[in-house]
């Protein structure tokens, strides 16, 4: 019986031959995939990737697979840019092989969104490499939070290409998708001190301000967003602060919405009444995204509460000669205390460097109630006064004179003024209507 058993040399030779055959098959498959992707029509490529991916998983052993884990957040705090990019990128890769998808649409959304659900897989191909994405969702009941992550699986021999070329490709593709489909969102502080819930910002793009002030503000915003290299070169955090003040009902909230729509920046609404410790500021700050507007409304109301704290503030002189504030209320037992020390560090301290291209907006009805240290340059760089209605537009005088010369019905005037949401464009169009009416009347001898 022993003579019928194969020798150790024969076994090793057979295994070597089999392993070599597998490697040849894998190489041929990769080369075949690369070539066919150049000649196979787009509508057939999805089916090809699916079939090839299944064969790929059969041939690969556990030791040959490298898995990259991509959590939704970095260190449990900051949003993971790669996770967000993968979500956008994979939304374009959903095909008939997927069996479980998530469908969502808010009341004000124009279109619904489709994404992969828990445990769902998506196969992708890049320069001859087959890759497998898996969505993972785990609930942490102790923390009342949901942990979301993705896994990216591929042959470990392609590690350098995946990290050096595929991931940058996913990031670049996602950025293009976001730019094309970006909808401005309003994030509000939730029950568990997070900004997970949001709504699309459906708000007029009207700028409730005098034309000259609007021109200056838009020029300042444009200059801010194009000066990335400048901020990095001089070592400053890429952020800008605006104080919108006086009086009530003059359109401060509308102006924030107009700024967000103009820049395509999301808005994060900070509610100071829900925060008591510096840690709250830090956690919320790192959870906000780049290219966003952080708004703290009615800042004067919060500082009034701080003046009544049991632990009074001590003041010092800042480097720029202004009075600075040192509110040491970390862990205070006062139920009415608010972390202004954390707020100041949040604006221009070390934690403010955890992100880029951010705008911070304070609104107030009573600027004189604010401590100068809170609104000094470097914190609130530009102060914008929103006044009551005035007849200050340069076209008003011309319109008044033309109306005295020609006859135009209220319906015709209203129709012309409703053609544009921009005040300057609407009034300019109305002037042209009156001038045309004047020319017609002169031609007919009515004037």
CB-CB contact of 271 with 389 (8 Å) = no
Query: pLDDT-derived band of residue 225, with 50, 70 and 90 as boundaries?
Result: very high
Coil, strand or helix: which one is 73?
Answer: strand
Mean pLDDT score of the chain:
76
Q: What is the mean pLDDT of residues 152-175?
A: 94
Q: What is the pLDDT of residue 12?
A: 47
Query: pLDDT-derived band of residue 313, with 50, 70 and 90 as boundaries?
Result: very low
Residue 217 has pLDDT above 80, yes or no: yes
Domains in the chain: how many in total?
A: 3
89 and 142: one domain?
A: yes
The whole-angstrom separation of Cα 308 and Cα 436 is 63
Residue 304 has pLDDT above 50, yes or no: yes
206 and 177: one domain?
A: no
Give the number of other Cβ atoms within 10 Å of residue 287's Cβ: 19
Query: pLDDT-derived band of residue 238, with 50, 70 and 90 as boundaries?
Result: very high
pLDDT in tens, 34-58: 555 555 555 555 555 555 555 555 5
The residue with tokens 């619904």 is 112
Q: What is the pLDDT of residue 299?
A: 87
pLDDT in tens, 381-411: 999 988 766 666 778 888 888 888 888 888 8
Phi, psi for residue 152 in degrees, rounded to 5? -120, 120
Q: Is residue 324 part of a domain?
A: no
164 and 129: one domain?
A: yes
**DSSP category for residue 136:** E
Residue 356 has pLDDT above 90, yes or no: no
Query: pLDDT-derived band of residue 68, with 50, 70 and 90 as boundaries?
Result: very high
Q: 71-110: b or e for each residue (b if 16 or more CB lie within 10 Å)?
A: ebbeeeebbbebbbbbbbbbbeeeeebbeeeeeeeeeeee
Q: Is residue 54 part of a domain?
A: no
Which of residues 181, 209, 241 is at a domain's end? 181
Q: Is residue 53 part of a domain?
A: no
Q: Is residue 27 part of a domain?
A: no
Q: What is the pLDDT of residue 189?
A: 66
How far CA 330 is from CA of 197, 305, 385, in Å, comes to 28, 16, 34
Q: Is residue 263 part of a domain?
A: yes
CB-CB contact of 282 with 274 (8 Å) = no
Residue 144 gets the label, from left (phi > 0), alpha (psi -120 to 50) or beta, of left
Coil, strand or helix: which one is 45?
Answer: helix
Residues of the chain with pLDDT > 70, as a percent, come to: 67
CB-CB contact of 308 with 336 (8 Å) = yes
Q: What is the mean pLDDT of residues 149-173?
A: 94
Instruction: Characterize the bridge pairing of strands 382-385 and 239-245.
Output: parallel
Q: Is residue 317 part of a domain?
A: no
Q: Is residue 415 part of a domain?
A: yes
pTM reported for the whole predicted model: 0.57
305 and 409: one domain?
A: no
pLDDT in tens, 181-200: 777 888 876 554 566 567 77
Residue 89 gets the label, from left (phi > 0), alpha (psi -120 to 50) or beta, of alpha
The whole-angstrom separation of Cα 93 and Cα 252 is 42
CATH number at residue 209: 3.40.50.300
Q: What is the mean pLDDT of residues 247-275?
A: 85
The number of residues in the chain equals 447
Q: What is the pLDDT of residue 46?
A: 53
Residue 232 has pLDDT above 60, yes or no: yes
Which of residues 181, 197, 215 is at a domain's end? 181
205 and 157: one domain?
A: no
205 and 296: one domain?
A: yes
Radius of gyration of the chain (CA): 31
Domain span at residue 422 reads: 397-444
Q: How far is CA 109 from the centre of its chain?
A: 17
176 and 192: one domain?
A: no
How far CA 293 is from CA of 144, 257, 277, 381, in Å, comes to 28, 10, 22, 14
CB-CB contact of 128 with 33 (8 Å) = yes
Distance spanning both ends of the chain, measured CA to CA? 124
The whole-angstrom separation of Cα 443 and Cα 358 is 56
Q: What is the pLDDT of residue 70?
A: 92
């Amino acid at each position: 019986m022993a003579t019928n058993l194969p020798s150790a040399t024969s076994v090793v030779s057979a295994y070597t031959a089999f392993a070599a055959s597998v490697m040849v098959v894998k190489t041929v498959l990769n080369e075949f995939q690369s070539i066919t992707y150049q000649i196979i029509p787009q509508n057939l490529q999805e089916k090809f990737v699916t079939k090839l991916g299944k064969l790929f998983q059969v041939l690969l052993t556990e030791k040959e697979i490298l898995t990259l884990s991509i959590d939704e957040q970095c260190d449990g705090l900051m949003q993971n840019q790669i996770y967000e990019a993968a979500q956008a990128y994979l939304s374009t890769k959903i095909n008939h092989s997927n069996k479980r998808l998530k469908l969502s649409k808010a009341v004000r959304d124009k279109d619904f969104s489709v994404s992969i659900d828990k445990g769902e897989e998506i196969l992708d191909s890049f320069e001859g490499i087959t890759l497998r994405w898996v969505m993972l969702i785990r609930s942490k009941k102790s923390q009342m939070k949901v942990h979301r992550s993705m896994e990216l699986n591929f042959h470990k021999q392609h590690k350098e290409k995946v990290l050096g070329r595929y991931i940058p490709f996913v990031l670049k593709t996602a950025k293009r998708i976001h730019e094309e489909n970006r909808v401005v969102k309003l994030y509000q502080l939730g029950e568990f001190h997070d900004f997970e819930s949001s709504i699309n910002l459906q708000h007029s793009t009207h700028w409730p301000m005098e034309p000259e002030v609007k021109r200056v503000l838009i020029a300042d915003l444009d200059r801010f967003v194009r000066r990335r290299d400048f901020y990095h070169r001089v070592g400053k955090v890429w952020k800008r602060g605006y104080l919108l003040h006086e009086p009530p009902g003059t359109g401060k909230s509308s102006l924030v919405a107009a700024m967000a729509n103009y820049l395509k920046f999301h808005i994060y609404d900070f509610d100071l009444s829900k925060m008591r410790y510096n840690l709250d500021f830090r956690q919320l700050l790192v959870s906000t995204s780049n290219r966003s507007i952080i708004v703290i409304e009615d800042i004067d109301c919060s500082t009034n509460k701080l003046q009544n704290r049991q632990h009074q503030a001590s003041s010092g002189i800042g480097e720029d000669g202004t009075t600075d504030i040192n509110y040491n209320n970390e862990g205070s037992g006062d139920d009415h205390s608010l972390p202004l020390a954390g707020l100041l560090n949040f604006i221009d301290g070390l934690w403010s460097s955890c992100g880029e291209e951010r705008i911070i907006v304070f609104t107030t009805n009573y600027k004189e109630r604010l401590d100068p240290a809170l609104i000094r340059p470097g914190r609130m760089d530009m102060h914008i006064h929103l006044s009551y209605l005035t007849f200050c537009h340069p076209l008003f005088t011309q319109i008044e004179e033309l109306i005295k010369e020609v006859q135009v019905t209220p319906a015709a005037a209203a129709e012309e003024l409703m053609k544009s949401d921009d005040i300057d464009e609407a009034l300019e169009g109305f002037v042209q209507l009156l001038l045309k009416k004047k020319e017609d009347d002169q031609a007919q001898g009515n004037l």
